[in-house]
Amino acid sequence: MTSDVLVHARGLRKSYGSPRRPVRVLDGLDLALHRGEVLAVLGPNGAGKTTTVRILATLLRPDAGTATVAGHDVVRDAARVRGLISLTGQYAAVDEKQTGRENLAMMGRLAHLPRRVVRARVDDLLDAFDLAGAADRRVGEYSGGMRRRLDLAAGLLTRPQVMFLDEPTTGLDPRSRQTMWEVVRAVVADGTSLFLTTQYLEEADQLADRVALVVDGRVVAEGSPSDLKRRVGDARVELTFATSEEAARVGSTWPGTDAHATVPGPGPDVATSSTLRVPTDGSVGHVRDVLAAVAATGAEPERWEVREPTLDDVFLTLTGHATRARAPRDTGSTAPGAGAPADHEETAA
């Protein structure tokens, strides 16, 4: 099991700022990336994802804790670690005054690849990322998405054991994102393990074998995407009414109606001011009972749907927990109108 662990972080701590007023960013973070695996690290802004990636990629020293890549310590054996990884950071790492092709060729040279190999590889990458037409234009003239694609290509010149991608598809259009996913899958199929951070939960769902949710510098949840979805609860029936008053009436009369007795499980809670959510196991019988219970209140929903939990729900639920534990008043978004907060936490309970 342990020999299978390619990247291992234990108890990482990191603070920024002056020693007298340190800002704690990582607070005992533990992570493991197994060989051949894709690990997606999710977390709200400022959670410490980039800091973690920078430590693992030898750019930053942790204040405490250890991290290894293939058994080599990222601080003491940094040179060895660098021979095993490739990093594409959150911010573009290309020269604006060089062309796309020149940037890639330079990185190939720095990777000590033979000239002939560099040339072929650069052409392949430019094609794959749809940059062949802009290859000989300066990067300063690229759009944000083109720049990002070039940046990603620069991280793929060689075939590392571990690839670190910090928010790889932020700023990419849907098609470019798909291409990126294809490329990543191909690289992973070829034996590279991937350490990925992302804000797109669909991306984690699509690519990751395992997801780690980081909040305030600590891993608060970890598991396969389906594990995590199960953790936030079952599927739900979502009922949207014409007005928030009607939704409120259904919500408040629900436990009092006769029909309630026929609906097993918890009653509805308010998702947005005009939407109610009722947890369900998704079976036809249960959904029918729920709809019957609604009909018994005399109200008619405008729309309804059965929603499976998504990683978004996982994210909002679990990060909500952590944020609340620290700052009880700061519950995030407030729904307009009736002022009912979107209370995802109770859904999970």
Partner 1 sequence: MTAPSLAAPSGTTPRLPAPTPRPGRHVLADAGAMVARSLRLVRREPDELVLGLVLPVMLMILFVYVFGGAMSVGTDYVTYATPGIVLLCAGYGASNTAIAVEQDMSGGIMDRFRSMPIVASTVLVGHLVASVVKNLVTTAVVLVVALLVGFRPVATPLEWVAAVGVVAAYVVAITSVAAFVGVLVRSPAAAGGFGFFMLFLPYVSSAFVPPVTMPAWLRGFAEHQPVTSVIETIRGLLVGLGSDARPVTDLGTTAVLALAWCAGLTVVFLGGAAWAFARRRR
Of 157 and 204, the one with the shorter C-beta distance to partner 1 is 157
List 8, 49, 101, 121, residue binding partner 1 (CB under 8 A): 121
Q: What is the DSSP letter of 334?
A: B
93 binds partner 1 (CB under 8 A): yes
Q: Which of residues 91-150 bind Mg ion (CB under 5 A)?
A: none
Residue 253 zone, left/alpha/beta (φ > 0; ψ -120 to 50; rest): alpha
Q: What is the DSSP letter of 330?
A: -
Helix (H) or strand (E) holding 221: strand 218-223
Of 132 and 335, the one with the shorter C-beta distance to partner 1 is 132
170 binds Mg ion (CB under 5 A): no
List 22, 23, 61, 141, residue binding partner 1 (CB under 8 A): 61
Q: Is the CB of residue 314 less than 8 Å from the CB of residue 231?
A: yes
Say which entry of Mg ion, partner 1, ligand ATP, none residue 46 contacts (CB below 5 to 8 A, set by partner kind).
ligand ATP
Of 25 and 290, the one with the shorter C-beta distance to Mg ion is 25
User: How many Å from the N-terminal Cα to the C-terminal Cα in the chain?
Assistant: 34
Nearest to 40 by CA among 160, 195, 182: 195
154 binds partner 1 (CB under 8 A): yes
Say which entry of Mg ion, partner 1, ligand ATP, none residue 98 contacts (CB below 5 to 8 A, set by partner kind).
partner 1
Of 43 and 320, the one with the shorter C-beta distance to ligand ATP is 43
79 binds partner 1 (CB under 8 A): yes
Say which entry of ligand ATP, Mg ion, partner 1, none residue 237 contacts (CB below 5 to 8 A, set by partner kind).
none
Say which entry of ligand ATP, partner 1, Mg ion, none residue 4 contacts (CB below 5 to 8 A, set by partner kind).
none
Of 53 and 293, the one with the shorter C-beta distance to ligand ATP is 53
Tokens of 277: 């959510």
87 binds partner 1 (CB under 8 A): yes
60 binds partner 1 (CB under 8 A): yes
Interatomic CA distance for residues 321 and 215, integer angstroms: 10
- b/e string for 291-312 if b means 16 or more Cβ within 10 A? bebbebbebebeebeeeebebe
90 burial level (CB within 10 Å; 0-12, 13-18, 19+): middle
194 binds partner 1 (CB under 8 A): no
Alpha helices in 223-310 (DSSP H): 225-231, 244-253, 284-296
Query: Which residues of the shown chain bind Mg ion in the complex (CB under 5 A)?
Result: 49-50, 90
